[in-house]
């Protein structure tokens, strides 16, 4: 009886094993068939025709209250909200890396100020004494003396300049959007956004601002930079400039005239914006897909003016616009 029971148990086990084997083989065969079917489909490359929604937030004026002096009717706002203005827009175009290093140095000075237990956010602006010294030194090479400039480097500042030709990639930019290098430098930097171009004939602006003195909202800051561009373009005589829904930047007649890309660390900004002014800068965009926007074109200010404007002339419009939007006075260094 025991031998018969063992034989039945053995036969039952064999049957179960055989059924399991057939089931497994069928599943494997079906999976292989499905996989082969997928692999046999033609490969369709991913084409980025539009980007994820970027234009978040809205611009609202700061409307900072103006304080009045007890000894005079003049406003103290300009004295209390003065910032350094490094204006290189009329000089020879500057290579990218030296100005990148300058931004990082000014940013680090801000971070050192914020880390100091004896400092507060309110001293991000130039003092009346600072402003007086800068006005006296204006026109001299104050960068030759560290003693003069050291006290200004932890204050808010705006840099305006033209760059030598360069393609810059953001932290997550796709290098495939560079279609032709043509001896143009390529540099990956720590800003957001896709590939863009800097070249002579374009005004590049780098605000180094502690947003505690404005509004601690990165989306507001991006919209504020766009507002500066819109106001400056209107001052320059360009009509019809506008934002475009879901995209960062400024457009005229469906062509992009200005791009933005920033980095913010502990609410202190670096990098910034670029506006195409002269025709000479536009040809460099032929080597890239600007901002990763497939099929979109770029333009420049002089496309829309009867009398061409230089970068230095447009920088005056931009300076006035930034003073209006950020409610500051730019004191040239």
Contact 88, 94 (CB under 8 A): yes
CA angle 126, 128, 134 (to 5 degrees): 70
Pairing mode of beta strands 185-188, 166-169: parallel
- What token pair was written down for 311? 């970068």
Write the CA distances from 114 to 45, 108, 212, 279, integer angstroms. Answer: 47, 10, 11, 42
Report how far Cα 181 is from the mean position of its chain's Cα atoms.
Answer: 22
Q: d(Cα 51, Cα 61) in Å, to the nearest integer?
A: 28
- What token pair was written down for 173? 């930019």
Catalytic-role residue among 109, 228, 291, 300: 291
3-state helix, strand, coil in the chain (%, to 5): 45, 20, 35
Residue count of the chain: 333
Q: Is 14 a catalytic residue?
A: no
Report how far Cα 97 is from the mean position of its chain's Cα atoms.
Answer: 16
Pairing mode of beta strands 166-169, 196-198: antiparallel
Q: d(Cα 292, Cα 83) in Å, to the nearest integer?
A: 34
Contact 93, 162 (CB under 8 A): yes
Among candidate residues 187, 194, 210, the one with its CA nearest the CA of residue 264? 210
Q: d(Cα 50, Cα 147) in Å, to the nearest integer?
A: 50
Residues belonging to the active site: 291
């Amino acid at each position: 009886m025991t031998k018969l029971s063992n034989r039945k148990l053995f036969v039952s086990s064999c049957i179960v094993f055989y059924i399991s084997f057939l089931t497994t083989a069928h599943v494997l065969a079906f999976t292989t068939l499905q996989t082969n079917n997928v692999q046999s489909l033609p490969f369709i490359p991913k084409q980025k025709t539009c980007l994820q929604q970027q234009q978040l937030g809205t611009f609202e004026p700061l409307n900072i209250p103006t304080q009045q002096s007890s000894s005079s009717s003049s406003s103290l706002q300009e004295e209390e909200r003065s910032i350094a203005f490094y204006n290189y827009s009329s000089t020879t175009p500057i290579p990218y890396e030296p100005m990148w290093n300058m931004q990082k140095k000014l940013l680090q000075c801000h971070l050192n100020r914020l880390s100091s237990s004896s400092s507060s956010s309110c001293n991000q602006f130039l003092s009346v004494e600072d402003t007086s010294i800068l006005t006296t030194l204006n026109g001299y090479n104050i960068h030759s003396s560290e003693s003069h400039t050291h006290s200004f480097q932890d204050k808010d500042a705006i840099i305006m300049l033209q760059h030598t030709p360069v393609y810059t990639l953001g932290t997550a930019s796709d290098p495939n959007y560079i279609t032709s290098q043509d001896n143009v430098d390529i540099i990956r930097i720590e800003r957001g956004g896709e590939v863009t171009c800097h070249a002579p004939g374009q005004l590049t602006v780098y605000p180094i601002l502690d947003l505690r003195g404005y509004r601690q909202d990165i989306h507001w800051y991006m919209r504020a930079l766009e507002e500066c561009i819109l106001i400056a373009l209107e001052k320059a005589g360009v009509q019809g400039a506008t934002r475009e829904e879901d995209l960062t930047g400024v457009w005229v007649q469906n062509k992009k005239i200005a791009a933005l890309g920033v980095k913010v660390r502990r609410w202190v900004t670096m990098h910034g914006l670029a506006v195409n002014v002269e025709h000479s800068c536009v040809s460099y965009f032929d080597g890239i897909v600007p901002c990763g926007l497939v099929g979109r074109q770029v333009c420049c200010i002089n496309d829309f003016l009867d009398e061409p404007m230089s970068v230095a002339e447009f920088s005056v419009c931009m300076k006035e616009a930034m003073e209006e939007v950020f409610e500051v006075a730019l004191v040239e260094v």
